[in-house]
Chains A and B, each alone.
Chain A
Amino acid sequence: MPFVSVPWIHTADPSNVWPPKSVFRPSDPFAIVMGIRVSNDIISAGLRFNAVFQMVTPRNDPQGPAWFFIYSGGDSEILNTLDWRWDDVTFDWGTDFAIWFYWDHYSDAVSQVRGGEKDKGIFFVRGTIDIQGSDLFAHSPEFWYKVRNR
């Protein structure tokens, strides 16, 4: 029976992505790491997947320090998630593997964000895997982290 699952996700230091790290300064290196398990028959079939990592703020009240985004035309909009995609990926790492995105600094990951909680607050990451050409998909649990700017 083919299966895919995302048993865990966490934030980490990119120099060693295996231990979870849940507190960052804006200048710290920052990685989002997602663990994936997949059955051998999916790999044998040559299927590919699309992955999405999301950084999420749970606070969206526009009268608070919510995240927001400014468009080139001048309009702005409250921002709930930052979505980072990796599409059309082959299963190159066996049946039990991790993929991760990283930036040299946490502040790079939120470079387009405005608002009082741009680089401070409590947030979470989550992710999804969508196997192309099949009904199979999986999502991660949430992993919460804190950012301190002082």
Chain B
Amino acid sequence: MSDNSKKEEINEKNTETLIEFKSKTGKTPAITRKEPVKKGSEIKDNSLSSY
């Protein structure tokens, strides 16, 4: 790969990054997060063989 082609590759990646960064300032509705299910359990003697 020549030095020029290396520069082009780097410039292309930088451009992609800048576009993504600019998109973060766009006006987009907030996204509701999905809440998890919560559970608990006593640990039996054979539950955790790896600890």
Question: CB-defined interface of B8-51 with A at 8 Å, one 1/0 digit per residue?
Answer: 00000000011011001111111111111111111100011111
Q: Which residues of B contact A101 (CB under 8 A)?
A: 36-39
A15 in the interface, Cβ–Cβ < 8 Å?
Answer: no
Task: Judge whether A70 and B28 touch: CB under 8 Å.
Answer: yes
Interface residues on A, range: 35 or more
* B35, B41, B43, B50: the one within 8 Å of A19 (CB): B50
A3 in the interface, Cβ–Cβ < 8 Å?
Answer: no
Task: Judge whether A111 and B41 touch: CB under 8 Å.
Answer: no
A112 in the interface, Cβ–Cβ < 8 Å?
Answer: yes
* A7, A14, A76, A84: the one within 8 Å of B51 (CB): A7
Q: How many pairs of residues, A versus B, come closer than 8 Å at their CB atoms?
A: 90
Q: Which residue of B lies closest to A19 (CB)?
A: B50
Q: Which residues of A contact B40 (CB under 8 A)?
A: 89, 92-93, 97-100
Considering residues B36, B37, B38, which has the most beta carbons from chain A within 10 angstroms of its beta carbon?
A: B36
* B27, B31, B49, B51: the one within 8 Å of A8 (CB): B51
| Distance of B38 from chain A, by nearest CB (Å) | 5
Q: A72-B30, A111-B33, A112-B31 are in contact. Are A20 and B38 (CB under 8 A)?
A: no
Q: Which residue of A lies closest to B20 (CB)?
A: A116
Taking beta carbons and an 8 Å cutoff, which residues of B are in contact with A? 17-18, 20-21, 24-43, 47-51
Taking beta carbons and an 8 Å cutoff, which residues of A are in contact with B? 7-8, 14, 18-20, 32, 35, 62-65, 68, 70-76, 82, 84, 86, 89, 92-94, 96-103, 108-109, 111-112, 114-116
Q: What are 26 A-B interface contacts by the 8 Å CB criterion?
A: A8-B48, A8-B51, A35-B48, A62-B21, A63-B17, A63-B18, A63-B21, A65-B20, A72-B30, A74-B25, A76-B25, A76-B26, A89-B40, A93-B40, A94-B42, A97-B41, A97-B43, A98-B41, A99-B38, A101-B37, A101-B38, A102-B36, A109-B34, A109-B36, A111-B33, A112-B33
